Amino acid sequence: MKKVLAAIIFCNFMVSSAVSAEIKIGFVTTLTTPAAVIGEDMTNAVNLALEHLNGKAGSHKIEVVFGDDGFAPDTGKQVTDRLLKQDKVDIMAGYIWSHVLLASRKSVLDAGKILISSNAGPSQMASKLCHENFFSASWQNDQTPMAMGEVFNKVGIKSLYIMAPNYAAGKDMVAGIERTFKGQVVGKDLTKWGADAQLDFSAELAKAKVSGADGLFVFYPGAASGAFTKQYHQAGLKDLLPLYSVFTIDGISLPKLQAANFSGIVGSKVTQQWDPSLDNQANKKFVNDFKKQFGKYPSFYAAQSYDTINMIASAVTAVDGDMSDVAGLRSALKSANYNSVRGKYSYGNNNFPIQNFYLREVVEDSDGNWTTEVVDTVFKNHQDPFAADCKLK
């Protein structure tokens, strides 16, 4: 009888332990340097997702431990290692920058953990470096500029001058626009990036001005966006060389551009896989609650971070908190069975999303705030061009 009673007590203890299991998520983003403006938006979205989930995945409490990459690959790897070894997180997520993700990936994957990118989508990780434990909650870098290239072809732009930062994502963005754009690239500048990034673009803008191009295509995220856009307007290029961009005019930069009264931004068009105006229940709740709490529209960085937490929660629920069931976690993540703010999507063989890409226009809302809205669908269920080079099935 004592043995039976002991067995019952043990079983009850095991059930109680499983129900109260705490899941730790390591989330790496940029919390210092001027690029922290992005990290703040991501952090806010993560916390909002936790609030909407009541801090739980099913019956399991979720804790997010944030790590600051300092906008540097070495620092990003160090903080990743700390989260894995000292904080003993169950799953890793975040990562704004492609070069930081590339420097950190091996630490996570060698530890047998799931790694989810909330933003960075380097071509290497979509192709030869693809891995069964790596998932993207965003896109592959080339896809958004590929969509813009299709827009250029449709409206008849024949020549471009291109500017982008000289790092992994910048190179992917240039490759993406060149992959679909059928016209001529008459000039190209790759500028210094990192914690000491180049923010004086006067020399490059002077070359672009005399290039004879029909338009100027740029990729400058975060703090660099405001610096570039200000100098573009000060150079008097608004009426001479139309500006087209990806990841430059967004929820991060628009409030600052509006405060600076750069009225030429209204009406400009950008491409993206998400927009505040997407008409689905999850997105409406996310956008409305984000605006209420933080007084502004969320950026795509925020949207993808919000999705990251929700997709992790759905996977944790699917395995009932058993984080040692990596195969089960993979299967649940692959199904994308959660309410994404972008709407329903699927995963390709390389674990990158197959999803729509939209043309978005900068508009003024009913309260006078600058935001964006979808005006066209450029790609439907688009798969990145590197999936064919991934050996996963």
User: 87-131 pLDDT, tens per residue?
Assistant: 999 999 999 999 999 999 999 999 999 999 999 999 999 999 999
291-313 pLDDT, tens per residue? 999 999 999 999 999 999 999 99
Percentage of the chain modeled with pLDDT above 70: 95
Tell me: do 198 and 260 sit in the same domain.
yes
Are residue 24 and residue 34 in the same domain, yes or no?
yes
Residues 219, 300: one domain?
Answer: no
Query: In this model, does residue 200 exceed pLDDT 70?
Result: yes
Domain check: are 168 and 219 in the same one? yes
Same domain, 151 and 92: no
Question: Is residue 150 pLDDT above 70, yes or no?
Answer: yes
pLDDT for the residue numbered 21: 66
pLDDT digits (tens, 9 = 90+) for 174-191: 999 999 999 999 999 999
**Window from 48-62, 169-183, 217-231, 277-291 with minimum mean pLDDT:** 217-231
The DSSP bridge partners found for residue 382 are 355
pLDDT at 12: 43
Q: What is the mean pLDDT of residues 340-363?
A: 97
Distance (Å, rounded) from C-alpha 344 to C-alpha 283?
11
Angle of the 281-294 helix axis to the 36-52 helix axis, nearest 10: 120
pLDDT at 41: 97
pLDDT of residue 271: 96
* Co-location of 246 and 328 in the same domain: no
Q: What is the pLDDT of residue 223?
A: 81
Residue 47: CATH number of its domain: 3.40.50.2300
Residue 393 belongs to some domain of the structure: no
Same domain (yes/no): 20, 125: yes
List of E strands, 167-306: 184-191, 215-218, 243-245, 269-272
- Answer yes or no: do 174 and 193 share one domain: yes
Residue 192 and residue 136 share a domain: no
239 Cβ neighbours under 8 A, 6+ residues apart? none
Asked whether residue 271 falls in the same domain as residue 296, the answer is no
The total number of structural domains in the chain stands at 2
pLDDT tier, 3 (very low <50, low <70, confident <90, very high otherwise): very low
Domain that holds residue 265: 143-278+357-387
Q: What is the pLDDT of residue 122?
A: 97
Instruction: Tell whether 74 and 125 lie within a shared domain.
Output: yes
242 belongs to a structural domain: yes
To which H or E segment does residue 115 belong? Answer: strand 114-117
